[in-house]
Amino acid sequence: MKKTFEDDFNLSVIAESGQCFRFNRIEKDIYKVVAHGKVLIIKEMGKNTFDFDCTSDDFKKIWHKYFDLDTNYSSIRKSVKDNAFLCACAEQSVGMRILNQDKWEMVVSFIISQRKSIPAIKTSIERLCELCGDKIDDENYAFPTPMQILATPINKLAECGLGYRLPYILEVAEKVNSDLNYFKTLEKINDDEKLLEELKKMKGVGDKVASCIALFGFHRLNFFPKDVWINRALAEHFPKGFDYKIYEPYNGVIQQYIFYAYRNANR
């Protein structure tokens, strides 16, 4: 099915934004997303038009929310003013959107992400999915459930390149598997700081990982995760500190502009 968007929507920018590890270009102008137990192929058709290889029903039920199509990102981008660096980042990141991703997947993915490059993170996640996840088709596997991970021999899990993170993942899997309402309980926490505190109670989850989970899993758009690239950008362009009040409640979108533009310019 074809969709034309008036709002910001750029597959390349989203795929390279570091927020999702199963969103990849497979050919020129063609991208594959594996999320929520589904595989979606998207082709750029030009003039802000895209062909989504899914039913209209799946688009309404899954992908409309996944791509956060009820939020106007062009208005957020245009709110960036009075700072040359941020304006440049925003313009280089036209088409950025914050995806609505599975909370459990984000917990495991960002625990894995610690001290790993994005290609290495993707490799570990795909190995984990192939090892434990349900088969979707001949090439793709769903992200494994906590129970599926716990049912897999530890020596096999270790072959996924999880390293010192494996015990963290197993402990969190035990926690989530024993409380089926765990994420629903966290969703009810309206205060962002309290949510951060609860997320950090999970083994192996510090400020950065918790902020990523909150932003990309719980869709709390005011979180501003700080990794190596963000810290470098802030030190270089905001030595006196970054004023988060200016861009509330969309600091997470601003963070993605900075991450995408600064990383691409300096790697």
- Residues 93-121 have pLDDT tens digits of 999 999 999 999 999 999 999 999 999 99
Q: Does the pLDDT at position 267 exceed 90?
A: no
- Residues 119-146 have pLDDT tens digits of 999 999 999 999 999 999 999 999 999 9
Q: Does the pLDDT at position 69 exceed 80?
A: yes
Share of the chain above pLDDT 70, in %: 100
* Confidence at residue 80, expressed as pLDDT on a 0 to 100 scale: 96
Predicted structure pTM score: 0.96
DSSP class of residue 61? I
Q: Reading across the β-sheet that carries 23-27, which strands appear in turn? A: 2-4, 49-52, 38-46, 30-35, 23-27
CA distance 25 to 23: 7
* CA atoms within 13 Å, Cβ hemisphere of 219: 15
* Confidence at residue 214, expressed as pLDDT on a 0 to 100 scale: 98
With tokens 């932003």, the residue in question is 215
pLDDT band at 47 (very low <50, low <70, confident <90, very high): confident
Please compute the mean of the pLDDT values over residues 146-157 and round it to a whole number. 98
- Long-range contact pairs involving 56-62 (C-beta distance under 8 Å, separation at least 24): 56/1, 59/1, 59/3, 62/35, 62/36, 62/38
Q: Does the pLDDT at position 27 exceed 80?
A: yes
Please compute the mean of the pLDDT values over residues 186-201 and round it to a whole number. 97
* Confidence at residue 66, expressed as pLDDT on a 0 to 100 scale: 98
**119 upstream amide cis, omega within 30 of 0:** no
Q: Does the pLDDT at position 266 exceed 90?
A: no
Q: Does the pLDDT at position 56 exceed 80?
A: yes
Q: Does the pLDDT at position 59 exceed 80?
A: yes
pLDDT band at 209 (very low <50, low <70, confident <90, very high): very high
Q: Sketch out the chain's domains with CATH numbers.
A: 2-74 (3.30.310.260), 103-190 (1.10.340.30)
Question: Per the structure block, which two tokens stand in for 198?
Answer: 């609860």
- Cβ atoms of 250 and 225 closer than 8 Å: no
Nearest to 131 by CA among 106, 109, 103, 152: 152
